Amino acid sequence: MFLGKVIGSVVATKKDETMRGSKLLMVRPMLADVANLGQLKTGANTIVCVDTLGAGEGEMVMFVQGSSARQADGLRAMPVDAAIVGSVDSVHLLGNKAYDSKKS
Amino acid sequence: MFLGKVIGSVVATKKDETMRGSKLLMVRPMLADVANLGQLKTGANTIVCVDTLGAGEGEMVMFVQGSSARQADGLRAMPVDAAIVGSVDSVHLLGNKAYDSKKS
Amino acid sequence: MFLGKVIGSVVATKKDETMRGSKLLMVRPMLADVANLGQLKTGANTIVCVDTLGAGEGEMVMFVQGSSARQADGLRAMPVDAAIVGSVDSVHLLGNKAYDSKKS
Amino acid sequence: MFLGKVIGSVVATKKDETMRGSKLLMVRPMLADVANLGQLKTGANTIVCVDTLGAGEGEMVMFVQGSSARQADGLRAMPVDAAIVGSVDSVHLLGNKAYDSKKS
Amino acid sequence: MFLGKVIGSVVATKKDETMRGSKLLMVRPMLADVANLGQLKTGANTIVCVDTLGAGEGEMVMFVQGSSARQADGLRAMPVDAAIVGSVDSVHLLGNKAYDSKKS
């Protein structure tokens, strides 16, 4: 899985029948900063993830990719390869609290 | 999944028997622009996707990769790893409407 | 799937028993050129694909990766993650014929 | 699989039900150094892996990605795409002992 | 699959139970050189592959990744995503013999 930040959403009325009602969020990966390993920095990609947890814009989440995304709650029969599977409370890197949802 | 723009098509008469009749589209990924996060920019790759929705050149779509592509409508038995599964109406990034199919 | 050009072959006598008799081709991906979108350019990678169609050196093909490669004709039980599944007649990009097998 | 070093952890109380109780570690890949092939160097990515072995911060581990992560002990039904499956004792590169857990 | 050269090995006594006895080799991908297409050059990555063929350091091999690695002989129930499935005799690129095991 990767950490990611929800930066937006996608509306697609015409889509695979099995995906009807799915909420689609734009997620940007968050990585440990090589230059400053106790911190997080934004990655370059943007992934469309199915949201199974009710995440909101700006929220730090954990997402899964590939066939494992279909193991997330309610997604088994869908043609989806990315899903949000956790809402992150905190991230600890090298003894530093790199993220705390209560302070963000 | 990723957002993508349909930029062309592929004709391949001689192909795996199970793919007979499949429409093959060239798709370029679309990503959030790091320098201007409320906008989309084109990615560097080009992927051949099976079209299950009747998408046309210039259309903004959502595509799925890997084994999950075989979950798309009618593709289960095919050797395909990329499929268009949604036609995008709009994309919202950081409070900005980064794409609107009615205006493009 | 990706477009690719066959640039060579691999001989490996000692291999997984299930692969006995498989033809192994070296394939270089072909992508739309960002600087000249109506054209194709060569990618940087080289992939060893199982050939199920009798492709030859210099031929433009379509290949599939991952578990979907095992859906190609006759490959179901093999430890293979890349297979040629189509021979390309033509590629159309932004209204331009970027490739035509009759002219190459 | 890849080699990796455990650099931290993630707390996510709200997550997919099947993941309840899973320990989530931040792992940075370790690669052979091209400029100095007998040594290891850190990669640029950071992956959230489920820990099945009780690994600790600073430990050199081996992790698996994709659907194979669900083959790790106890993870079969979870939406996870990365898992720690080995604790590394030593790495040998070109006749050099590039890593030794007893000396690190 | 990709071509690769065996550059070392990994010892991991504590690992997933199903992997007991597996031989783990460090493999560096080998690619066609864009600047000199009849030759091979080393890639930047290093992958830990399960060896099913008895490969040795310096040997040119073919390896498979992802779920297909579990199709290799004896690996079906293991959490592995990379396996050596062939020992390479020769590689032919654009009419040139880019590798010959008898001469290396």
In order along its 104 residues, chain B shows pLDDT tens digits of 999 999 999 999 999 999 999 999 999 999 998 788 789 999 888 999 999 999 999 999 999 999 999 999 999 999 999 999 999 999 999 989 999 999 87
| Pairing of β C90-93 and β B2-11 | antiparallel
DSSP 8-state code for residue C77: T
Q: Please give, rounded to a whole number of angstroms, the shortest distance from the CA of B6 to a CA of chain A.
A: 15
| Mean pLDDT of each 10-residue bin along chain A, 104 residues long | 97 96 96 85 93 96 98 95 98 94 88
State whether residue E71 is helix, strand or coil: helix
At position B54, the amino acid (one-letter code) is: G
CA–CA gap between residue C21 and residue E3 (Å, rounded): 18
Length of chain E: 104
pLDDT in tens, D35-83: 887 899 998 889 999 999 999 999 999 999 999 999 999 999 999 999 9
Structural contact between residues C64 and B81, judged by C-beta atoms closer than 8 angstroms: yes
* CATH fit for domain C2-94, picks 2.40.50.220, 2.40.128.640, 2.40.50.140, 3.90.79.10: 2.40.50.220
Structural contact between residues C53 and C84, judged by C-beta atoms closer than 8 angstroms: yes
- Give the nearest chain C residue to B26 (CA atoms): C93
CA gyration radius, chain B = 14
Which residues in chain E touch residue C19, judged by CB atoms under 8 angstroms apart?
85-86
Q: What is the mean pLDDT of chain C?
A: 95
Number of other CB atoms surrounding residue E11 within 10 Å: 14
Question: D104 vs E75, which has greater pLDDT?
Answer: E75
Paired tokens of D94: 């070109």
Q: Is D33 on the interface with A (CB under 8 A)?
A: no
Query: Of A34, A50, A71, A104, which to mutate for an interface test with D (greatest number of D Cβ within 10 Å)?
Result: A71
8 Å CB contact of A79 and B90: no
Q: Please give, rounded to a whole number of angstroms, the shortest distance from the CA of C55 to a CA of chain B.
A: 10
8 Å CB contact of A15 and B98: no
CA–CA gap between residue A57 and residue C82 (Å, rounded): 38
CA nearest to B62, candidates C59, A48, E79, C33: A48
Confidence of residue D19 (pLDDT cuts 50, 70, 90): very high
CA–CA gap between residue E31 and residue B23 (Å, rounded): 32
CA–CA gap between residue B2 and residue B31 (Å, rounded): 8
For chain B, the 3-state helix, strand and coil shares in percent, each to the nearest 5, are 10, 55, 40
Identify the chains in contact with E, defined as 3+ C-beta pairs within 8 A.
Answer: C, D
With a CB cutoff of 8 Å and minimum separation 6, the contacts of B20 are none
User: A97-100: which pairs have CB atoms within 8 A and are 24 or more residues apart?
Assistant: A98/A32, A98/A38, A98/A39, A98/A40, A98/D8, A99/A3, A99/A30, A99/A40, A99/A60
Structure confidence at residue D37 (pLDDT) = 73
Which residues in chain B touch residue C71, judged by CB atoms under 8 angstroms apart?
18, 70, 77-80
Which residues in chain C touch residue E68, judged by CB atoms under 8 angstroms apart?
66-67, 69-70, 78-81
- Domain limits, chain E: 2-94
- Give the nearest chain D residue to E71 (CA atoms): D68
Paired tokens of A58: 């700006």
With a CB cutoff of 8 Å and minimum separation 6, the contacts of B54 are none
pLDDT in tens, C63-89: 999 999 999 999 999 999 999 999 999
CB environment D56-66: b (16+ within 10 A), e (fewer): eeebbbbbbbb
Burial tier of E21 (Cβ tally within 10 Å: 0-12, 13-18, 19+): exposed
Q: What is the dihedral of CA C13, C16, C18, C22, to 10 degrees?
A: -40
Which residues in chain A touch residue B90, judged by CB atoms under 8 angstroms apart?
10-11
Which residues in chain C touch residue B10, judged by CB atoms under 8 angstroms apart?
3, 62, 86, 88, 90-92
Structure confidence at residue B44 (pLDDT) = 84
CA–CA gap between residue B37 and residue E6 (Å, rounded): 43
CA gyration radius, chain A = 14
Structure confidence at residue D11 (pLDDT) = 98
Q: Is B28 on the interface with C (CB under 8 A)?
A: yes
Which residues in chain A touch residue B34, judged by CB atoms under 8 angstroms apart?
42, 44
Question: At residue E104, does pLDDT exceed 90?
Answer: no
Q: What angle do CA A91, B39, A42 make, to 5 degrees?
A: 20
How many contiguous H segments (helices) and E segments (strands) does chain A have? 0, 9
CA–CA gap between residue B85 and residue B63 (Å, rounded): 5
Paired tokens of B26: 């060239």
Paired tokens of B43: 């990615």
Q: Is A83 on the interface with D (CB under 8 A)?
A: yes
Q: What is the ipTM of this complex?
A: 0.95
Q: Is C71 on the interface with E (CB under 8 A)?
A: no
Query: Of C47, C52, C68, which to mutate for an interface test with B (greatest number of B Cβ within 10 Å)?
Result: C68
Structural contact between residues E57 and C58, judged by C-beta atoms closer than 8 angstroms: no
CA–CA gap between residue C79 and residue E20 (Å, rounded): 21
Q: What is the pTM of this model?
A: 0.96
Which residues in chain D touch residue A6, judged by CB atoms under 8 angstroms apart?
none
8 Å CB contact of C12 and E37: no
